[in-house]
Amino acid sequence: MAAKVQPTKLTTFFEGHRRKCFLVQWIQHCNRAGVSTIKLDMRLPLLNQPVLGMNDEIGEPFGLMAKNDSKTERSAINVEIEGMTLDIFSTDTSKDHWVSTTGAKLMKLYLATVGEGEKKEVNLHLAIYVPFTKEMMEWAAIHLHKDFYIETVYSNSESKLAFATADETELVDDDTEEDEGPDEGEDEPELDPDAQDDIPFDTAPPAGKSGPRELKAYHLNHNTD
C-alpha cells in the first residue's frame, strides 16, 4: 500500500479577509483524561465570492471546478493550518467579534460542487478544531445551521496542541452527513481506546434572534456552576 502523503503545513487562510461560513455541525470530543475539544464542521461558499487572500492550494482546484464545463464534483485539499487565532463575526463589517479562540487547527479541507448552471455552487468544506470553552460551546449551539463570518490570523498559538494531537484528532473524528469517508486506498482509522463517545449536536435551539442579548441569556440559562 502506498504511503500516505503528509499534508502541507500552512500558516495562512484567506489572510486578512473575512469569509462567509455556514455551521453544518459541531461535536464535542472528550478523552479519558478529561481533555475536551470542539470540532466545527463549516461550509464556505466560493463561487461568485471574493477571492482575495485565497491560498494557492485552494485557488488552483477551485479555478478548474468553477468552469461551466467542469466534471469534477469533489477535490481533496491536503493541507493543515494550525496555530491560528479564530475570530467569528456576525457580519463582514462587524467591529467586535462574537467569539474568539487561540490554538485553532484547520484540517480535512475539500471542495465540492452541487447544482448545475445558474444554481451551481462550489463550496469549501473544512473542520476547525478548537480548545473547549463554555463560550464556544454556547456560540455553536446558537449558530448551528446559520451564516456568519470568520477571520483567522497565524499567532503561533498551538500550545503544542496539548488538547488534541494530530493523531488523537484523527482517531476521534466523527463522520458527518457530508463526509464521504476515507479516500480510495486510505485505511479507516482505528478506534481510540482512551476516547469516550463523541457528543454530536445537529439540532439547533428554537428559532429566533441570535444577538448578544440572546447569547448572554443562553449563557445564564445554561449555567451549571
Write out pLDDT tens, residues 161-217.
444 443 344 333 344 444 444 444 444 333 343 444 454 554 444 444 445 555 555
The answer to the question of residue 161 being in a domain is: yes
For residue 178, tell me if it sits in a domain.
Answer: yes
Give residue 41's pLDDT.
98
Q: Is residue 1 part of a domain?
A: no
**Ranges of the chain with pLDDT below 50:** 159-197, 199, 202-210, 224-225
Q: What is the pLDDT of residue 35?
A: 80
C-alpha of 131 from chain center: 13
Residue 106 falls inside a structural domain? yes
The pLDDT value given to residue 160? 42
Residue 89 domain-assigned (yes or no): yes
Q: How many domains does the chain have?
A: 1
Is 192 inside a domain boundary? Answer: yes
Could you list the beta-strand ranges (E) of the chain. 8-10, 19-30, 36-45, 74-77, 79-89, 99-114, 121-131, 147-154, 199-201
Is residue 2 included in any domain, yes or no? no
- Whether this prediction's pTM lies above 0.75 is answered by no
Q: Round to whole Å and give the CA distance between 216 and 146.
A: 18
Indicate whether 3 belongs to any domain. no
Report the pLDDT value the prediction gives residue 145, as an integer from 0 to 100: 98
The predicted pLDDT at position 158 comes to 56
What residue numbers bound the domain in which 188 lies? 8-221
Contact 58, 44 (CB under 8 A): no
